Each structure stands twice: as C-alpha cells, then as structure tokens.
Amino acid sequence: MSRHVAIVTDSTAYLPQRTVERHGITSVPLTVVLDGRAWEEGTEISARSLAQALRKHQPVTTSRPSPAAFAQTYARLAEAGASAIVSLHLTSEFSGTYDAAVQAAQDAPVPVRVVDTGMVAMALGFCAVAAAEVVEGGGTAEEAVAAAEKRAADTSAYFYVDTLDYLRRGGRIGAAQALLGSAFAVKPLLQLVDGRIELREKVRTASRAVARLEEIVAERAGSGPVDIAVHHLDAADRARTLADNLRRRVSGLAELQVSEVGAVIGAHTGPGLLGAVVSPR
C-alpha cells in the first residue's frame, strides 16, 4: 500500500466535483437545518431549495461537522494508505468546524495538521488545491500546509448582498454593524479580512455595486497569473455578466469558474449574493 499525504477540506470550499476528483481531495460536509430537518450540504440540499426557503422566510440554521465525523474521515484515509493528513477549513470566525477538526486530530491514527485558513468558498478551495498540488509533486505535509497558508495570504474575497439582514441574524457581520441603521439606503460591498466580514465601501444602487465589484476585482487581479472564482446565490445572470466582463478585463487570467454557493454560506448571505475570489498563483 503506497503511503501519501491526504488533503481534507469541508463543504464550504465549493470545489467543483471534477477538481475534487482530479486532486483526490476529501470534503467533510457541514449541516443545514431547514424547518427542523437536518441536511448535509452538497449532497442533500440544493442552493435553489435554500433560496426558495429563504425567500419564504422559513427558518434556516447551520451547524459544523461533529468531531466524530472528522475522526471517521481521518481513520478512513489512514486505512486507505495516508501517512499524514492536512485538513484545511473555513474561517473559525464563521464556524466551529476548525475546532471540531482539531479535536478529532488529537486521536487520529496518523499525524493531522489542521489549518484555519481564514477563508471560505473558493478562497478556501484554492488553498486546498494548492496543498494538493504540492503533495502530487512529492511534497511533505509541512510543505503542503505552507503552500495553503501562502495561497490564503495572497487571496482576496469580495462580495455584494442585496440586504444585510441575513448576515445580521447569523451574527457574522463584523465591522459592517455600522451599516445596520441605513441598510435600506445603501448597497454594501464587503470583503473578508482576517477571517471576518468587513465593510469595503457603500454604494447607492445595486447596479453601481455590481459595477464597482467588477472594478475592485479587476484592479486586485492585476496582470496575473491569477485564478478567479465568481460565486452567487440565485443570481446567475449577474454572475455570468461579471464573469464575462472579467474575462475581457483581466489579462493574466489563468482560470475562472462560476458557481452557486452552497446552503451554509447562502443561509447567511441570502438570495442575490454576488461574490468574487481573486487568488494569484
């Protein structure tokens, strides 16, 4: 049995299935609770179902994977031949996922390095891919961790939401709390900073916010090489337009993918989310 370093992440990375399969990345699902029923993200509930529930004001909550779920994953990978595991997860400011992984790692049958990337969505996904590519080249677990941490440090995530209400209810609005009093008078552009959601700037209209998001992303991308991911929830037309414009504007674009976020992030941002991750190679 060949020995190797296994790469684990969680369902909020929103990696395309082809990418997961190509790099052999294992994803542990978070849970979405809709009307009292628990569903595993990515396998049992669709983004479309979530958006419909949110628009109907149905109660939606989320929860981390249990330490037991991580323990089972680590044991299975060890049994399959892993000599070490690198476990990369969404920001601990959003979820207890990192803590659950740390608990499970303590009793794992092989060494496990658990990393709080401070990221989410494809900002996390790009970190997992960077780690996997190092391992594929014969790198060690420590080298994979270093690659993931460097990718996280270089990556930026920006997003627009139609309303701050979902973020407020989920307690994940950070410095944007200052906007609550005027949420209906402005359209906020937000960004991820040190694992927290921070206000980037205020814009008066939705169309201007989307145009400004494009400007920010193009400026941050520079001349490349750079990977970009465009995310949305129930805003496919906006996402396609943003992606098309970025393909024209970013000269060093290596890869651009468009995807709808899953239920966990969608539950906290609401329908109408439009986001972009900029990740220099």
Nearest by Cα to 55 from 36, 40, 34: 34
In a domain, 128, yes or no: yes
Q: Which residue has the higher pLDDT, 161 or 148?
A: 148
In sequence order, what are the residues at sequence separation of 6 or more whose Cβ sits closer than 8 angstroms to the Cβ of residue 71?
A: 104, 107, 108
In a domain, 46, yes or no: no
In a domain, 42, yes or no: no
Rounded to two decimals, what is the model's pTM?
A: 0.90
* % of the chain exceeding 90 in pLDDT: 63
pLDDT at 149 over 70: yes
Same domain? For 85 and 106 the reply is yes
Same domain? For 203 and 247 the reply is yes
Domain that holds residue 92: 4-30+65-153
Nearest by Cα to 265 from 24, 43, 32: 32
* Counted domains in the chain: 2
How far apart CA 154 and CA 168 sit, in angstroms, is 28
pLDDT at 178 (0 to 100): 46
Same domain? For 168 and 145 the reply is no
pLDDT digits (tens, 9 = 90+) for 217-263: 999 999 879 999 999 998 999 999 999 999 999 999 999 999 988 87
Same domain? For 111 and 230 the reply is no
How far apart CA 113 and CA 145 sit, in angstroms, is 8
Same domain? For 78 and 185 the reply is no
pLDDT band at residue 170, thresholds of 50, 70 and 90?
low
In sequence order, what are the residues at sequence separation of 6 or more whose Cβ sits closer than 8 angstroms to the Cβ of residue 198?
A: 174, 175, 176, 190, 191, 192
CATH number at residue 240: 3.30.1180.10
In a domain, 47, yes or no: no
Question: Which among 93, 119, 153 is the end of a domain?
Answer: 153
